């Protein structure tokens, strides 16, 4: 057993009339092997071409996949499960193999590179993405009970969803207060507070 190889998908730039706001790309193979790979979140203002910085997404590749799917997903700012794909590109295995053969052993990004047009997704197709985030085998109420019990056995407190949301709200409030204090205490020549990491 040789195991999977790595299929590297490079993202160079994006443009088009339907491209607006904040978005990211999600790539996966079908049939799926593992979780989809996501790019960073990008923004587009106006009609500019967005430089994606040759970001790479590495997919496990066994060689028996039927296709690779790349989706442009609109970033909602909330939970990833709420983000909706707007456009999709499907590349069959034989096309992938032709491009990888072309690029093999070459350092120049031009080899194996192509410009693609993505097709808009119908709402029903976009909603199928949400199924991935639904836990069919273990309902969330049962999972919460199981994790709480395991945590108690180990002497750990596992916060509930309500506790987690309250902590996140308190954290956001404290970060805003911290930024405000930095602004008031900074020297007159300093416009913005230093970045916190």
pLDDT digit string, tens, across residues 12-68: 999 887 778 899 999 999 887 678 999 999 998 777 889 999 999 999 888 889 999
- Residue 178 CB-half CA count within 13 A: 9
Selection from 102, 83, 67, 100 nearest residue 24 by Cα: 83
Can you give the pLDDT at residue 128? 76
Asked if the model's pLDDT at residue 178 lies above 60, the reply is yes
The average confidence (pLDDT) of the chain is 81
Is residue 136 very low, low, confident or very high in pLDDT (cuts 50, 70, 90)? Answer: very low
Greater pLDDT, 55 or 188: 55
> In 78-118, at which residue ranges do the beta strands (DSSP E only) sit?
84-92
Can you give the pLDDT at residue 139? 60
Can you give the pLDDT at residue 37? 94
For the record, the structure tokens of 190 come out as: 């300093």
pLDDT digit string, tens, across residues 55-78: 999 998 888 899 999 999 999 887
Task: Please state, in angstroms and rounded to a whole number, the distance separating the CA atoms of residues 159 and 170.
Answer: 15
């Amino acid at each position: 057993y040789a195991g999977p190889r790595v299929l590297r998908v490079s993202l160079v730039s994006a443009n088009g009339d339907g491209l607006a706001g904040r978005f990211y790309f999600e790539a996966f193979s079908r049939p799926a092997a593992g979780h989809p790979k996501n790019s960073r979140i990008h923004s587009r203002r106006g009609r500019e071409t967005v430089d994606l910085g040759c970001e790479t997404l590495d997919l496990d590749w066994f060689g028996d996949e039927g296709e690779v799917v790349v989706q442009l997903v609109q970033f909602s700012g909330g939970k990833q499960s709420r983000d909706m794909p707007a456009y999709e590109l499907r590349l069959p295995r034989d096309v992938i193999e032709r491009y990888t053969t072309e690029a093999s052993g070459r350092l120049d990004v031009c080899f194996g590179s192509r410009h693609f047009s993505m097709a808009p997704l119908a709402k029903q197709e976009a909603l199928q993405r949400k199924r991935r985030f639904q836990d069919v085998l273990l309902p969330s109420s049962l999972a919460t009970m199981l994790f709480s019990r395991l945590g108690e056995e180990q002497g750990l407190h596992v916060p509930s969803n309500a506790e987690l949301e309250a902590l996140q709200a308190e954290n956001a409030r404290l970060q805003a207060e911290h930024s405000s204090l930095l602004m008031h205490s900074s020297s007159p020549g300093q416009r913005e507070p230093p970045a916190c990491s």
